[in-house]
Every structure is written in structure tokens, then in C-alpha cells.
Chain A
């Protein structure tokens, strides 16, 4: 920006005042949480004290309570969150990267007839399962129906959807409020006996994050020159080989940035976990939210838990800022 125009001294001071003011607004709540986690209950309830060692003597009681007395009850949600966030991000990255590459390099033209037929076949399977047909048989027979009918019915319809339609359909999943789909997902996992397991949460988060990964990686791949791939293809490399040995190594920064972004989303997710987990697979945001319900507002314990959640995220923010500064994620953030 105004690299051309220098600021007047007054302008500089005013700018620093505003920037510093907002930095204070951002940092003060974090500071308050940090100090509260070292306060004794009496120090909290007797009205505010501000500076450790000046106003009050910090105590580790809350940290000891969370990590020693409650060890299992804290570490289990923490482990759940770590496992769920990492695996769902890896999965979303794997599925989304291949899909993004496919949407960029290949041409897809599934006909409306085939799509409709496929949906009908799956619905058929669902209805069959509902009518107490064993699910293996239902699945096999509906697949058979699909492949048989595809040859005849599916090809009658001329018009088809293109790559852009598929991409748009994927990104439009973001419009969908999660609450509109979570009850059926809950019922589905309940039927599969997967409710309150990490697997259920991992699968759901993967699906939620998939569109972002597809969108981001597709944009990223677009900037990789096609010539490399063409020469590899002439040399006889298979599409998988090209993808693994040329595309992926070239897009490490994009992959890293996307991974971090998706990791943060899964790390913080609340609503879906609220529906899908109770005790076993409980994640940290739920543990924090549950503090009030079970024991009344015990600010010191809450502060410790919030800090546990925030600490890794601050590191990720510093890493992500570097990618954003390089312009890697901005196209992405813009949608």
C-alpha cells in the first residue's frame, strides 16, 4: 500500500494507537485466562487482582488438579481431540487432494441418468435394510441393479454435469448448516454401533473438511505446470505415479498450509462432537463446555483447560501466518 506516501508523525502515532489498542483487546483476554489459571478460588472471588507476584501469589493448584487429580478425565478428551483432529485432517487431505487433482486434470461428465440411478440404488439398499434384509445382501443386490440398469436406462439421458458443477457442488456443502444433517448422521452411527467412538467423529470431520481441501488444493495444483506431467506421461508413468512423484512433492507448502487450516477446524469443532459423543469419545471443547454444567463456574479449572486448547493453536497461528503472508492461503480464504 502507500509505499509511495509516507505517514505524518501524527498519523504514525494514531496508527500505533489503534493497532496497539486492538492488540491489547486481542491479548488481554488471553492474559486474563493465563493469570486466572494461577489464582486460588479466594483470589478470584474477592474481586479482580491483576498482576502475579504484585497483586497475588500465583498457585499451581488448578494445574495440579487438572493434570494430577483428574488425570484420566483430562487426558482422555485431550487424546481424543489429538487423535480425531490429526486423523480426520490426514484423511481429508488424502481424499481431497486426489479429488482436487482429478477435477483439474481429468474431465468428468457423469450423466444425470447415471447419478439419479446411483442415488436410487443406494436408497433401495437403505429401504431394504429398513425391511430387515441383511445389509450385505442389500448392498450387493442394489449394486447389481445399478450396474445392470446403467447400461440401459442411465445412457438414455444426454445431458451431463461437468467438472465445474462437481466443484461447485462440493464447495456448496459449506452452505449446509451442520445441524440440518447431524441428526441423520447420529441415527446412522447409532445403527452401526459407532456412536460415541472416535471413528464416527473422524469420519464426520473428514466429510466436513473435505470441500475446503478440494477447493484449496485444486487452486494450488492449477499453478503447477502441465509440461512436467506431460513428459512423465510420455515416458510411460501412470497417473498414480505422476501424482505421487511429481505433483505431491511440488505442492508440499500448499499441503502443509491446508493441513494446518483443517487441523485447526477439527481441533475447535463443537457442534458435531456435541451430538456424536458423550463420554468415551468426548473432545476438549465439550469438556470445557461441560465444566459449567457439572460443577458450576470454577474459573480456575476452566482457564487451565482453555489454555491447553489454545497453546497448540498459537503455534499453528504463527506457522499459518507465514503461509498467508506468502499468499498461499489467501485465494483459499477468499473461497
Chain B
């Protein structure tokens, strides 16, 4: 902001002399408005294409779309679209089938509830906490508890995860695998082996390929009759097993595609972080006789933690939007087993259930915002230092 005052345009005394007084006045006015003309187009476009649609979506999620003679109309139905997702006919699709919890699950849930309760109480006791902070902790504990309860009951035997839990499975398992794979590859590539540049370009490729293409690629590869691994499946006696009709088989294939595409992103950023770390510390560790393993975990890894945290945040935000892979790879099937929330919303839209679609989309928005905020407040602040 150093040049703010100087740049704010005081006309242009030495510039070309305008033809008329009016022209000069206009030029001076345009110069004075420079700072708005620089920013305003972008802001207006974003308001037009994201703020208003977002507000309009709230309205859509509260109505039911009806075809009437000569067109269509929206009938206001209040929260019925949301009720349908949580208690009504869409419940199995959205939340999944809840198993009656076994004793072990009760115990696990009890432990988690205790931890969350402790988290809230500790926040109160620690002092200096304002009312909004306390309310925030309580709300976090409540939502997190509900989500964990949902995950526990749908992922145990007898339960079946709906699109909500499936999306979370994609995101959490996907990020974990991508991160550790990406870190391994980045660490090895940073070792100054000959041929590094080749690996760097090759490893970058999957990130740039359209997910729809990747989905088809994996459909061909995973095809049990014509895929390249057919002889292998036959040798292993697995030729009769069809991943496409097994819910977890199908989900795993979707996740493999996701890992194939997004490991490169982790790789690229982690590689840059590894290469920019100061050498002195490594040398000091080496002089002290630390092994490579110790050096990595005690010196290198703590240094790249802030980058790790940002990476996880970005991938989390992007990962929740997954649609291309399940849509093309499995069409959301078998049944609705591989449907993500975005795909769920799209399928609802395609069947003209526009209100239901908007409600699912809002549920997704709520989930992403909750996850991102919790992550930023509980993890990211600590790992990344000052925001």
C-alpha cells in the first residue's frame, strides 16, 4: 500500500494533452477511478455467478418443482426437501442404512463422545474463552459426534453407507494414500538421482488429464474380460469376481482412479518444499551421526508440516466435489454405492427433483464448510503457525 497515495491518479500533467476540456475532465475522472476499475469487474462477476446463485439455491432447496399445463412452477414446501433426506424416502440414499450398533460400536462411540465432551469442557475451563468460542466448540462437538456416529453405524456389518459417508470415505482415504505416496516419491526424487527431470514430468501428467478420460481408462484397465490384467486374474482364480457388482470393490476402483490422478499434486508441492529446505540442519544432523531415517523424521518432516497442512486443506476442499470418476466409472453403482454427494445432486436434478438436488448441494456445502473450518481452527493454525 506504499504507493497508494501516489498512484491514486492526480490526472497526468505531463501526459498527452487532451483535445478538449471535456476530454481532459473525463481522463482525469477515469484516472481517479482507477482503483475501482481495476477491481470491480472481477467482484461483479463473482457476485453475479456465485453469490446470487448461492442465495437463489437456498430458495430452490425450499421448493418443489412441478410440471403444470403450459410450463412449470415452484411450490414452496418449507424444509420438506431436507426432511426427505434425513428421515424420508431419500434417507437410505443420503445417510445410508444404519446398522443396530454392536456392543463394541457402543463402546467406541462412548469413547469418542467422552473425548468430544472433554474437548468442550477443557475449552470452558481454560479460561479466556469468549461465548462465541465456547458455542463454536459445542457446535463442533455436536456435529463431529453425529458424523462419527453415522460413520460407525453405516460402515459396520449390517449397515450401508449413503452418499454422505461415501463422499467422506473418498476424501479421507484418498488424501491419506495420496499424501504418503506423494511424499515417498517426492523424497526419492529429491535425492539427485540421474533422470530426475524425466520422473518429474511423468509424475505430473495424471493431474492434467481430464477425470472423465481417467474414468474410462480405469474402466478398460479394470475390465475383467478385456483388460490387460485378465491373464493375471485368471491365474489367481479371480476371473469370476466382479468388482463392479461389489459395493466396496467399486468404491476401491474409484479411489484408485482418484489416487492415480491426485498423487501428482501432492508430489509436486512436497518436492518443492523438500528442495527449498535449508541444508545446514541436514548437515548438522549428519555430523551428529543421525541415520537417514532419523534425519527425515526429526528434521525434514517437521519442516514440511506447514506445507503438508495446506496441501491437506486444499485437497479436502477439492476432494469433496468429486463427481466425474464415480459417474463415468461406475454410474454411481452398484445401486447407489459409489455415489458422491455431487453425483447424488446431479441425479436428483436429472430426474427433475430440483428442490431435492438443491438440498443435497446445500448439505454438501455445509459439510465442506464444516470440515474446512474445523480443520483450519483445530489443525491448520497449529501446524502452519500464523495464518
Contacts and interface: CB of A to CB of B under 8 A. Distances in A.
Contact of A108 (B35, B227, B313): B35
Contacts of B46: 170, 173, 207, 210-211
B249 interface: no
A250 B214 CA distance: 38
B282 to A, nearest CB: 5
A106 B6 CA distance: 10
Interface stretch (B89-97, B126-134, B323-331): B323-331
Contact of A299 (B2, B226, B317, B372): B226
29 contacts: A2-B190, A2-B192, A3-B192, A18-B185, A22-B203, A23-B198, A26-B206, A28-B228, A29-B214, A29-B217, A30-B205, A105-B1, A122-B47, A122-B52, A179-B342, A180-B53, A184-B57, A203-B45, A210-B42, A238-B15, A239-B8, A242-B7, A268-B210, A289-B212, A299-B220, A309-B209, A313-B209, A327-B272, A333-B268
Contacts of B345: 179
B303 to A, nearest CB: 11
B378 interface: no
B349 A183 contact: yes
A306 to B, nearest CB: 4
A50 interface: yes
Contact of A210 (B38, B45, B54, B349): B45
Contacts of B108: none
Contacts of B318: 174
Contacts of B368: 175, 177
Q: Chain A interface mostly helix, strand, loop or mixed?
A: helix
Contacts of B107: none
A185 interface: yes
Given A7-B191, A98-B38, A229-B7, A267 B272 contact: no
B42 A96 contact: yes
Interface in B226-259: 226-231
A177 B365 contact: yes
B283 A36 contact: no
B56 A184 contact: yes
Interface of A: 1-5, 7, 11-12, 15-16, 18-19, 22-23, 25-30, 32-33, 36, 44-45, 47-48, 50, 95-96, 98-99, 101-103, 105-108, 119, 122, 126, 163, 166, 170, 173-185, 187-188, 203-204, 206-207, 210-211, 214, 226, 229-230, 233-243, 264, 267-268, 270-271, 274-275, 284-286, 288-289, 291-292, 297, 299, 302-303, 306, 309-310, 313-314, 316-318, 320-321, 324-325, 327, 330, 333-335
Contact of B53 (A185, A236, A288): A185
Nearest to B387: A168
B149 to A, nearest CB: 24
Which of B6, B37, B50, B206 has the most A CB atoms < 10 Å from its CB? Answer: B50
A1 B204 contact: no
A67 B294 CA distance: 57
Contact of A180 (B6, B225, B323, B365): B365
Interface in B308-364: 310-311, 313-314, 317-318, 320-321, 323-324, 327-328, 341-342, 345-346, 349, 354, 357-358, 360-362, 364
Contacts of A29: 214, 217-218, 221, 260
B69 interface: no
B317 A288 contact: no
Nearest to B229: A48
Interface stretch (B18-26, B80-88, B98-106, B273-281): B273-281
Given A2-B191, A47-B226, 5 more contacts: A18-B185, A95-B41, A99-B39, A183-B53, A207-B48
A286 B273 CA distance: 36
Contacts of A177: 320-321, 341-342, 361, 364-365, 368
B191 A1 contact: yes
A26 B205 contact: yes
Given A95-B42, A292-B328, A180 B369 contact: no
Nearest to B274: A1
A310 B364 contact: no
B211 interface: yes
B326 to A, nearest CB: 12
A166 B60 CA distance: 28
Nearest to A207: B49
Contacts of B14: 235-236
B14 to A, nearest CB: 4
Given A29-B217, A310-B213, A50 B228 contact: yes
Contacts of B354: 183
Contacts of A204: 49
Contact of A306 (B53, B213, B310, B362): B213
Contacts of B268: 324, 330, 333
Contact of A270 (B60, B265, B282, B323): B323
A183 B49 CA distance: 11
A274 B211 CA distance: 13
B357 A183 contact: yes
Contact of A285 (B203, B205, B212, B276): B212
B79 interface: no
B386 to A, nearest CB: 13
Contacts of B48: 207
A284 B9 CA distance: 46
B39 A226 contact: no
A36 B318 CA distance: 31
Contacts of B307: 334
Contacts of B320: 177
Nearest to B311: A334
B292 A105 contact: no
A2 B300 CA distance: 10
A99 B34 CA distance: 11
Contact of A236 (B12, B217, B269): B12
Contacts of A310: 209-210, 213
A22 B185 contact: yes
Contacts of B349: 183, 275
B216 interface: yes
Contacts of A101: 38
Contacts of A270: 210-212, 323-324
A25 B260 contact: yes
Contacts of B9: 238-239
